[in-house]
Amino acid sequence: MKLFVEKNYDDLSERASKILIEEIEKNKNIVLGLATGSTPIGTYKRLIKAHKEKGLDFSKAKSFNLDEYVGLNGNHPSSYRYYMDNEFFNHINIGKSNTFVPNGKAENLEEYCKEYDRLIEENGGIDIQILGIGTNGHIAFIEPSEELVTCTSIVKLKESTIIDNSRFFKSIEEVPKTAISMGISSILKAKKIILLANGKNKANAMANILDNDKISTKVPASLLKLHSDVTIILDEEAYSETRRR
Ligand code: F6R
């Protein structure tokens, strides 16, 4: 596990985008695993800049997103499809049909989840997966629990996640209670993983991972320790509790 502690969010985004740019330049047919939320915005901005100013080419790239709320369609402003189109895809030369975000309105959700994992495999698997982390230690929408889902599944969101994510909705009542989420083995199958965390509110979750050699389903991100190519990039604030312990 490689760990980088950067001064601030800008430096974190710079470090993450450099790694991604290098990978995309090396492999035109790259399959990207993408996250939403506030953490990767700075990284996406830099990738867009590299596309506009240096011609970084996404024409043969594909992408798979980690998750989507059940019940929201792609033009709902709080859906992850809407986020991805607006924050990233609309500004680069990726073919929309090469971008996959789980369909929160799929008719048969369980069958659809299986199909999503199949689709990832059919496309050769994820080359590099970007992850953020929840304040409760979740990755994707794999919430802390006695047992974790291995494959893409329908998951129930924890109250803390609903509260954290209500900032992206008009009111907390609007936040869906369930989501489609890639499972822990869908994520661990990625060839490379980059976990990003910034801000004081992530410090506790990060310390629960970094200050010991253990894994726990109560801290889903700790399972990343099982992977052989993980890079963690934090800012000083997200590292503060690990430093203190
Ligand atoms: C989003 C996702 C989530 C977020 C996490 C952090 O697709 O999978 O696990 O990465 O909740 O969210 P932010 O970045 O908004 O703090």
The reply to whether ligand 1 has any atom less than 6 angstroms from the CB of 68 is no
- Overall average pLDDT of the 157-180 stretch: 96
β-bridge pairing 178-181 and 67-69: antiparallel
User: Which residues have C-beta within 8 Å of that of residue 136, sequence separation ≥ 6?
Assistant: 143, 144, 158, 160, 161, 205
Q: Can 67 be counted among the known catalytic residues?
A: yes
Longest dimension (CA), the chain: 49
- Give the E-state strand segments of the chain in sequence order: 2-6, 31-34, 62-65, 67-69, 99-100, 128-131, 153-156, 178-181, 192-197, 230-235
Residue 38 CA to ligand 1 center (angstroms) comes to 7
Q: What is the pLDDT of residues 91-125, one digit of tens each?
A: 999 999 999 999 999 999 999 999 999 999 999 99
User: Which residues have C-beta within 8 Å of that of residue 26, sequence separation ≥ 6?
Assistant: none
What count of other Cβ atoms lies within 10 Å of the Cβ of residue 68? 27
What one-letter code names the amino acid at 234? L
Q: Looking at the CA of residue 142, tell me the nearest atom of ligand 1.
A: 9
Q: What are phi and psi of 16, to 5 degrees?
A: -65, -45
Residue 199 CA to ligand 1 center (angstroms) comes to 13
Q: Can 136 be counted among the known catalytic residues?
A: yes
**Cα radius of gyration rounded to whole Å, the chain:** 17
Q: Collapsing DSSP states into helix, strand and coil, what is residue 48?
A: helix
Q: What is the pLDDT of residues 38-71, one digit of tens each?
A: 999 999 999 999 999 999 999 999 999 999 999 9
Chain centroid to CA 226: 18
- Cut 0.95: pTM above it: yes
Question: What is the distance between the alpha carbons of residues 81 and 104, in angstroms, rounded to a whole number?
Answer: 9
**Inter-residue contact 232 to 195 (CB < 8 Å):** yes
Q: What is the pLDDT of residues 190-230, one digit of tens each?
A: 999 999 999 999 999 999 999 999 999 999 999 999 999 99
Q: What are phi and psi of 6, to 5 degrees?
A: -105, 160
Q: Looking at the CA of residue 65, tell me the nearest atom of ligand 1.
A: 7
Q: What are phi and psi of 67, to 5 degrees?
A: -160, 170
Q: What is the pLDDT of residue 187?
A: 97
The reply to whether ligand 1 has any atom less than 6 angstroms from the CB of 120 is no
**Inter-residue contact 182 to 155 (CB < 8 Å):** no
